Amino acid sequence: MIRLSRLDGQEFILNADLIETIETTPDTVIVLVTHRKLVVRESADEVVNRVVAYRRAVGCRGVAHAGTLPPEAGA
């Protein structure tokens, strides 16, 4: 779970596992696996950093660096 802010400043908690894509339009738009779209104040890089930090904190393996796949994923 990651903490984010809507454009009006209201904070909310998002289940990071539901993120399908993050777009910059120039606002940051998070598209969930449910196809719901959320517009947030944080940059795309900041959202990715928070997801990576969350996954490291809960012990997920294979998250070496944002934007990279573990070796077995490319096989």
pLDDT single digits (tens) 12-59: 999 999 999 999 999 999 999 999 999 999 999 999 999 999 999 988
The domains of the chain are located at: 2-60
Question: Where residue 75 falls among pLDDT bands split at 50, 70, 90?
Answer: very low
Higher-pLDDT residue of 19, 74: 19
The answer to whether 66 touches 49, Cβ cutoff 8 Å, is yes
**What does the radius of gyration of the chain's CA atoms come to, in whole angstroms?**
13
Distance, CA of 71 to CA of 3 (rounded, Å): 30
**Under CATH, what is the fold of the domain 2-60?**
OB fold (Dihydrolipoamide Acetyltransferase, E2P) (2.40.50)
Neighbouring C-beta atoms of residue 51, cutoff 10 Å: 19
pLDDT computed for residue 59 by the predictor: 84
Task: Report the C-alpha gap between 66 and 63 in whole angstroms.
Answer: 7
Structural contact between residues 44 and 22, judged by C-beta atoms closer than 8 angstroms: yes
